[in-house]
Amino acid sequence: MTNFDGNVRENGKAIKKFEAALNQDLKYYEKNVDFIQIVKLKGNAKTNLSGKVEFVVCNETHCLPPSEVEINVNIGG
């Protein structure tokens, strides 16, 4: 069994900018960002943490369609 300890933290410089084409503020990162989530195990057993990350890559003229990547992390033991 696992428990999340707190909220996800962002380690990177977020940029917030109004995008006229979408008529909304966008929050994005340039180059790199780390998202950190502390996980606590109940017991000393090996387990697996899995999920999906969805992202979009853009430049000054266009964006690629959203992509989704599955993640799988072995923890504990």
Q: Enumerate long-range contacts of 17-26, CB under 8 Å, 24 or more apart.
A: none
| Chain segment 16-60, per-residue pLDDT in tens | 999 887 788 988 888 889 999 888 888 787 888 899 999 888 887
What would the two tokens of residue 51 be? 């999920």
Tokens representing residue 55 in the block: 């992202």
The model's pTM is 0.64
Domain ranges of the chain: 2-75
Specify which residues 28 forms β-bridges with: 15
pLDDT on residue 52: 93
pLDDT at 65 over 90: yes
Q: What angle do CA 27, 30, 32 make, to 5 degrees?
A: 110
CA distance 72 to 69: 10
The per-residue pLDDT for 68 is 97
Residue 67 reports pLDDT greater than 90: yes
